A and B are shown apart, each in its own frame.
Chain A
Amino acid sequence: MLSLAIFFPLVGVALIATLPHSQERHAKSIAALAALATLALVGYLFADYDRDAGGYQFVDSTTWFDSALTDFNLNYTVGVDGLSLPLVLLTAFLSLVAILISWQVELRPKEYFIWLLVLETSLLGVFSSLDMVLFFVFWEVELIPMFFLISIWGSGNRIYSAWKYLLYTFAGSAFMIVGILALGFSEGTFDVRELGEIGEIEGAIIPAWGIFFLIIIAFLIKLPIVPFHTWLPDAHTDAPTAVSVILAGVLLKMGGYGIFRMAFNIMPDVAKDVDWLLAGIAAVSIIYGALMTLMQTDLKRLIAYSSVSHMGYVLLGVSSIGVVGMTGAATQLVTHGLITGMLFVLVGMVYDRAHTRNIDELSGLAHRMPFITVMMLVAGLASLGLPAMAGFVAEVTVFLGTFERFEALTIIGVLGVAFAAGYILWMIQRVFWGEPDPRWAELTDASAWWERGPLLALTAAILAIGIYPAWIMDLLTDGVTPIAERLG
């Protein structure tokens, strides 16, 4: 069932690929249906997950390759627990959103939707893999669709940004595969469930902290954390809107998820020793990201830098190595995905209409596009952590969990929230309030179903988590508890 959900988007790929050229306008409908069916399958899994039993469920496992000679065994093992299931749901949801808001893509639509669906499969695979080599396979597969999506359908300096994205990620995964192989060799298995029970790595050919850093570097690049973040503003700015949504909403979460599952879960001893270092980097990221955000004049870059700051909370929360902080970090992965995804959808709509993202040029858009403005207020307030919105729940939990362990760093982190209020409100004030500029008198509001539908769905999700967080936080707590216990 889980495998079916992971690979279901490929059914859409096959259908679109066989579509004759004259019918290519139907590619988007097929893609949307495939993504919708995938979401339905994942939704079913979400409802069917036995919360009392917990642990890894819907496990599918087959031997891919079993070496007669050595410990080099490949297994196809997928399964989800409380930590990964919400992320799988987020992926399926945002993929559908991304396809819907691409309704008007005219350039090579067949390939565009094929790459989006391939991307969805690889992302679902990353969050579901319970075998490190399989995880790495899905992690790498994601590169090719992203490379094409940015370089062909992007804007501005798209080629440069696609390169930067590819090479940063590829460099990170180069280290990761060495770490994975060294780990697998010393423990005789790549199975995450078994590795999660070992605790202390002994007799490895490189010291455990070496393996830890080889593996975590890829996740820190992906998250991203200062100073490995420079690919992110470029990739975000030049990617097409739908890809920015996936990038901010899901791809960054691969980094956070990897830190939980592959680094802290498997190597708790090392994690305990370096938590102060990671928390320090996180605090730097939060503040540096926030300050950079304040300086931006491009809407997309602004939100991109705010992601750097917000992802710092994830690392801060994980580094607290307690259940509360880690639950907060995991919740932040989900809520940031929804909120920033929504912000990018809105920025994309503004850009499609005004053909500029320059904050200095835009003014008084509220008069022209009231619906988009209201939505921007919702997403913006959620992003700055207004109570009753999803962002608040996650960030408060992070701070609660972290304060005990790193007082000073938490206070620095809270400053980031103050900055967030600053850059979000200031942005809304400059772009949407103010005197209506006659240049923008012709702009229209979002009115099509494929524009309003995703925005309303995102709003509903943000409010649902904000008002009654238990439905997702209970799951996440169950998911991180074993990891936190191993660390404690």
Chain B
Amino acid sequence: MSDFEKLGPELGLLIAAGVIIIVDALLPLAGKRAWGARHHLSVFFAVVGVFASMAASLGLVLADEPGPAFDGMISIDDFSLFFNFLFAGVAGMIVLGSIDFLQKNRFHGEYLALVLTAAAAMMLMAASLDLIMIFVALETQAIVFYVLVGFGKNERSGEAALKYLLLGAVSTALTLYGMAYLFGLSGETSLEGIAAYVDGADSGTRTALVVATVFLAGGLGFKMAVIPFQMWVPDVYQGAPTPVTAYLSVASKAAGFAVVMRIFIVGLGEGVITSDWANMFAAISAISMTLGNLMALAQTDIKRMLGYSSIAQAGTFLIGLAAVAASDPQVELGSSSVIFFLGTYAFTNIGAFIAIIAISQKIGSDEISDYAGIYKRSPWLALGLAACLISLTGIPPTAGFWAKVYVFNAAIQADLVWLALVGVLNSVIAAYYYMRVVLIMFTREPESEATFQPGISLGLALTVAVVGLLAIGIYPTPLIEVSESASQVFTS
């Protein structure tokens, strides 16, 4: 199998993105019918691209030839394949979720092409085994997102994009600085080479390595959106078009975690500093969960609330990462708990945002208090959103329950009982603000009696998400098995 075939999932998306741009440019501009044709064609090609990418990933799974490609720049293994499916699936959901938004936007071709490009870049982030490759993928993804955040074409969206760009530049600098340290110390850019150096490092270089890990964690913490690197989250989440917010909150976060797992577990997993970064992540995790939840409690705008809650959720994922290194044989359990959590979170959070898109465009508001009585006006949407929020709370029979049980299990087995306790107490706080939305939707009287239905594309996306999170909730085994096999790339 050639290297290019191994890049099939990314190429599928990128080719579709190119086709969309070309078709968009070649078709005549004028006329309402031409606009409609371009709109439909763009969406069609975007969906084809997503399916082509998934088919290519499936081909790689069936070929079962794990190994590095492009001279060790990227790796095709269960871990990267898991994320290939995750990002392609999320991109597909975002395309479906954006169709209504694009009705009001002239630049649908560009938008969809950017969505697909971002997915391809994030796939590369998860697959990279070399600092240079990681940085290229990271920047591609970041630049695409700067543009997407500004797509709302209003003041808020513009402000959000600028904020994201400026803080993103700082995070890039931090990441690069950390990478430069690692390169300077080891003389290698490949993670394997760095791992060999770190494994043999003595306590004399420990300080320098700790500095490198702190910078890397800072830069990548921005992508993962954990405290104290979260300051962009509320404004950007609120200002960006809601489909982009959904994309950021799930895919960009997952990509950040994928890169962190690659760098820290593969590159820095053995040697003197393992416990240092494990403690660092444990602390970041506890702070992110607690502060994220406390700030979410005070929000009145549902997108801001989900923004802060996503900070808290990221803190919960970090429990798994802290568990990876806290004690030696826990690499697989800790990392597979993070991977499993990311998988369930994709269904849950995308579902929640899709429902919010559908509801907010009808009621014209993102205020939580305006969600009063939605159940009477649109029962299925209200039930769908309720299912997602219950899953975020972590109550069975939903995927979120197993995600939390699994990650707490990893923490306890890694002797991090205190972190598990912080985690479970935080889920009680989180229960309050998630269930409050449910309560408002189901018990308050609506302001108007007018009923409404989501469009076909939003309804389809929400159905996929809710069925997915309930299916995982009732029978989590397949996803846990996939997560476990993905996590084995870190030990073999």
Contact surface of A with B, Cβ cutoff 8 Å: 64-65, 67-72, 74, 133, 137, 140-141, 143-144, 147-148, 151-152, 159, 162-163, 166-167, 170-171, 174-175, 177-178, 181-182, 185, 205-206
- CB of B187 to closest CB in A, whole Å: 35
Q: A70-B333, A152-B443, A167-B431 are in contact. Are A177 and B408 (CB under 8 A)?
A: yes
What's the Cα separation between A68 and B78 when bound, in Å?
A: 16
* Partner pick for A64 among B427, B477, B481, CB 8 A cutoff: B477
Q: Which residues of A contact B420 (CB under 8 A)?
A: 178, 181
Q: A68-B484, A72-B333, A137-B397 are in contact. Are A151 and B439 (CB under 8 A)?
A: yes
The contact sample of 14 A-B pairs, CB cut-off 8 A, is A64-B475, A67-B484, A68-B481, A71-B413, A74-B477, A140-B396, A151-B439, A151-B443, A159-B439, A167-B431, A178-B424, A181-B408, A181-B412, A205-B415
Q: A171-B428, A174-B427, A175-B424 are in contact. Are A205 and B443 (CB under 8 A)?
A: no
Whether a CB of chain A sits under 8 angstroms from the CB of B264 is: no
Q: Which residues of B contact A163 (CB under 8 A)?
A: 432, 439
- Secondary structure call for the A interface: helix
Please indicate which of the listed interface residues A69, A133, A141, A152 has the most CB atoms of chain B within 10 Å of its own CB.
A69
Q: Which residues of A contact B427 (CB under 8 A)?
A: 170, 174
Whether a CB of chain A sits under 8 angstroms from the CB of B247 is: no
What's the Cα separation between A370 and B425 when bound, in Å?
A: 51
Contact in complex: B442, A148 (CB < 8 Å) = yes
Contact in complex: B424, A141 (CB < 8 Å) = no
Q: Which residues of B contact A69 (CB under 8 A)?
A: 332-333, 336, 484, 487
Q: Which residues of B contact A140 (CB under 8 A)?
A: 395-396, 401
Whether a CB of chain A sits under 8 angstroms from the CB of B406 is: yes
Closest to A214 in B: B421
Closest to B440 in A: A159
Contact in complex: B439, A162 (CB < 8 Å) = yes
Contact in complex: B442, A181 (CB < 8 Å) = no
Q: Which residues of B contact A151 (CB under 8 A)?
A: 439, 442-443
What's the Cα separation between A235 and B355 when bound, in Å?
A: 31
What's the Cα separation between A74 and B487 when bound, in Å?
A: 19
Whether a CB of chain A sits under 8 angstroms from the CB of B435 is: yes
What's the Cα separation between A67 and B488 when bound, in Å?
A: 13
Whether a CB of chain A sits under 8 angstroms from the CB of B193 is: no
Contact in complex: A178, B480 (CB < 8 Å) = no
Give the total of B residues in contact with A, Cβ under 8 Å.
35
Q: A69-B484, A140-B401 are in contact. Are A185 and B413 (CB under 8 A)?
A: yes
Q: Which residues of B contact A175 (CB under 8 A)?
A: 421, 424
Whether a CB of chain A sits under 8 angstroms from the CB of B312 is: no
A-B interface contact total, Cβ < 8 Å: 88
* Partner pick for B405 among A71, A133, A167, A185, CB 8 A cutoff: A133
* Partner pick for A141 among B332, B395, B477, B484, CB 8 A cutoff: B395
B:396-437 near A, CB below 8 Å: 396-397, 401, 405-406, 408-409, 412-413, 415, 417, 420-421, 424-425, 427-428, 431-432, 435
Q: Which residues of A contact B484 (CB under 8 A)?
A: 67-69
Contact in complex: A65, B439 (CB < 8 Å) = no
Whether a CB of chain A sits under 8 angstroms from the CB of B359 is: no
* Partner pick for A167 among B397, B406, B432, CB 8 A cutoff: B432
Contact in complex: A178, B477 (CB < 8 Å) = no
* Partner pick for B425 among A74, A147, A166, A174, CB 8 A cutoff: A174
Contact in complex: B480, A65 (CB < 8 Å) = yes
What's the Cα separation between A180 and B23 when bound, in Å?
A: 58
Whether a CB of chain A sits under 8 angstroms from the CB of B76 is: no
Q: Which residues of B contact A137 (CB under 8 A)?
A: 396-397, 401
What's the Cα separation between A9 and B442 when bound, in Å?
A: 23
Q: Which residues of B contact A68 (CB under 8 A)?
A: 481, 484
Q: What is the 8 Å Cβ interface bit string for chain B, positions 452-492, against chain A (1 contact, 0 not)?
A: 00000000000000000000000111001100100100000
Q: A144-B395, A147-B435, A151-B442 are in contact. Are A182 and B417 (CB under 8 A)?
A: yes
Contact in complex: B480, A177 (CB < 8 Å) = no
Q: A65-B477, A159-B439, A162-B439 are in contact. Are A178 and B412 (CB under 8 A)?
A: yes
Q: Which residues of A contact B333 (CB under 8 A)?
A: 69-70, 72
Whether a CB of chain A sits under 8 angstroms from the CB of B390 is: yes
What's the Cα separation between A182 and B424 when bound, in Å?
A: 14
Closest to A137 in B: B396
Contact in complex: B431, A205 (CB < 8 Å) = no
- CB of A337 to closest CB in B, whole Å: 25
What's the Cα separation between A71 and B330 when bound, in Å?
A: 12
Contact in complex: B476, A65 (CB < 8 Å) = yes
Q: Which residues of A contact B425 (CB under 8 A)?
A: 171, 174
Contact in complex: B408, A166 (CB < 8 Å) = no
What's the Cα separation between A175 and B422 when bound, in Å?
A: 10
Top-10 shortest CB links A-B: A174-B424, A65-B477, A137-B396, A181-B412, A69-B332, A171-B428, A181-B409, A70-B333, A140-B396, A170-B431
Please indicate which of the listed interface residues B395, B421, B425, B475 has the most CB atoms of chain A within 10 Å of its own CB.
B395
* Partner pick for A144 among B390, B405, B481, CB 8 A cutoff: B390
Contact in complex: B431, A181 (CB < 8 Å) = no
Q: Which residues of B contact A177 (CB under 8 A)?
A: 405, 408, 424
Closest to B477 in A: A65
Q: Which residues of B contact A181 (CB under 8 A)?
A: 405, 408-409, 412, 420
- CB of B355 to closest CB in A, whole Å: 17
Contact in complex: A185, B439 (CB < 8 Å) = no
Closest to B412 in A: A181
Q: Which residues of B contact A171 (CB under 8 A)?
A: 425, 428
Closest to A133 in B: B405
What's the Cα separation between A415 and B417 when bound, in Å?
A: 42
Contact in complex: A152, B396 (CB < 8 Å) = no
* Partner pick for A72 among B395, B406, B417, CB 8 A cutoff: B406
Closest to B405 in A: A177
Given A141-B396, A144-B395, 11 other A-B residues pairs in contact with their CB atoms under 8 A: A69-B333, A137-B396, A141-B397, A163-B432, A167-B431, A170-B431, A174-B424, A174-B428, A178-B417, A205-B412, A205-B415
- CB of B137 to closest CB in A, whole Å: 29
Q: Which residues of A contact B412 (CB under 8 A)?
A: 178, 181-182, 185, 205
What's the Cα separation between A143 and B428 when bound, in Å?
A: 13
What's the Cα separation between A166 and B439 when bound, in Å?
A: 12
Closest to A63 in B: B477
Contact in complex: A70, B413 (CB < 8 Å) = yes
Closest to B473 in A: A137
- CB of B485 to closest CB in A, whole Å: 8
Q: Which residues of B contact A182 (CB under 8 A)?
A: 412, 417
- CB of A367 to closest CB in B, whole Å: 39
